[in-house]
């Protein structure tokens, strides 16, 4: 049985086909242009493979309320032309197969708990730090939804007294995304993260903000595994800085050996490399087919 997975991003659409065991058969990417330019390529790709279901992990915000008339739609997004587009509905109609949808980060954490670094965990979070900051949340064996879906990238932080940068988020001056995303690093230093590898002060400040957020997520969700990734996390020294600062902030309050003695096994890179989002999308398709 072949299942399609679509990791729908603001820059590119990663399309893949895989099996029920998580084996990827094929993948390709299509630039994210205006909807009328993008959908034909998506439909042609998945029709070629005769998939039995499709899962979508999409940028958002999304309407994930199944009782809503606009379920499966991207709601208000800064991506031109995509506000109000029912991405799940359009592909369901065109392909004639069940289509599951969730946020890109929820898809990623689903991939990791199914086949990756959080396999076997009942509670885990996936944090991506790149163009934005997103947090996928898996609690008590299921993805978290509510009024909308988790927006952990906009958790408010205490600013460093040495940081004069006002933040890049148009909604909050001191949220995680506004202070720690790739654009925040660019705005603060005038260079992208990859050109600042030899500037330890950059990563000390970045670690300070990410550790604050992660300590809050630990207190709130009590995850058994924290998976941290995205373009900014490709700096090799950042993981150790974040782990050290998380321990300092928690100050022994979370009394568990995984945190106190083995934090290098608690805050980790993805087990699925660059594929957690697309593999998690395939899992969403499988779940939709099974009626879960």
Contacts of 22 (CB under 8 A, 6+ apart): 111, 114, 115, 279, 282, 283
Does residue 292 have a pLDDT over 80?
no
Residue 174 sits at φ, ψ, to 5 deg, of -130, 40
Closest of 202, 210, 223, 203 to residue 157, by C-alpha: 210
Q: Where in the chain is the domain with CATH 3.30.420.40?
A: 3-103+277-290, 117-268
Burial 60-92 (b: 16+ CB within 10 A, else e): bbbbbeeeeeeebbbeebebeebeebbbbebbb
Share of residues in the chain with pLDDT > 90 (%): 93
pLDDT tens, residue by residue, 173-198: 899 999 999 999 999 999 999 999 99
Query: What is the topology classification, in CATH, of domain 3-103+277-290?
Result: Nucleotidyltransferase; domain 5 (3.30.420)
Q: Which CATH superfamily is domain 117-268 in?
A: ATPase, nucleotide binding domain (3.30.420.40)
Does residue 133 have a pLDDT over 80?
yes
pLDDT tens, residue by residue, 96-120: 999 999 999 999 999 999 999 999 9
Query: 3-class SS at 101?
Result: strand
pLDDT tens, residue by residue, 195-245: 999 999 999 999 999 999 999 999 999 999 999 999 999 998 999 999 999
User: What mean pLDDT do residues 20-29 have?
Assistant: 96
pLDDT tens, residue by residue, 135-154: 999 999 999 998 888 899 99
pLDDT tens, residue by residue, 40-88: 999 999 999 999 999 999 998 999 999 999 999 999 888 899 999 999 9
Report the distance separating Cα 132 and Cα 150, nearest Å. 14
| Range list of H helices, 6-127 | 35-49, 87-95, 104-115
């Amino acid at each position: 049985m072949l299942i399609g997975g679509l990791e729908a991003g603001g820059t590119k659409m990663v399309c893949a086909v895989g099996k029920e065991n998580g084996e990827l058969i094929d993948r390709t990417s299509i630039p994210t242009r205006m909807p009328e330019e993008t959908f034909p390529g998506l439909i042609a790709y998945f029709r070629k493979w005769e998939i039995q279901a499709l899962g979508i992990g999409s940028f958002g915000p999304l309407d994930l309320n199944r009782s809503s008339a606009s379920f499966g739609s991207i709601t208000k997004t800064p991506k031109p032309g995509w506000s109000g587009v029912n991405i799940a509905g359009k592909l369901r109609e065109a392909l004639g197969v069940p289509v599951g949808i969730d946020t890109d980060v929820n898809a990623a954490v689903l991939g990791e708990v199914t086949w990756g670094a959080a396999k076997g965990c009942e509670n885990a979070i996936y944090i991506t730090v790149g163009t934005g900051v997103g947090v996928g949340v898996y609690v008590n064996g299921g993805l978290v939804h509510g009024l909308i879906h988790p927006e952990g990238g906009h958790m408010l932080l205490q600013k460093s007294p040495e940081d004069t940068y006002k933040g890049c988020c148009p909604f909050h001056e001191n949220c995680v995304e506004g202070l720690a995303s790739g654009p925040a690093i660019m705005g603060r230093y005038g260079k992208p993260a990859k050109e600042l590898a030899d500037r330890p002060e950059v990563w000390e400040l970045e670690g300070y903000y990410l550790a604050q957020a992660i300590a809050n997520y630990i207190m709130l969700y009590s995850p058994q595994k924290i998976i941290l990734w995205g373009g900014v996390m490709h700096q090799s020294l950042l993981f150790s800085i974040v782990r050290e600062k998380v321990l300092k902030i928690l100050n022994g309050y979370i009394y568990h050996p995984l945190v106190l003695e083995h934090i290098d096994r608690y805050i980790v890179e993805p087990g699925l490399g660059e594929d957690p989002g697309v593999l998690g999308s395939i899992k969403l398709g499988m779940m939709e087919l099974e009626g879960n």
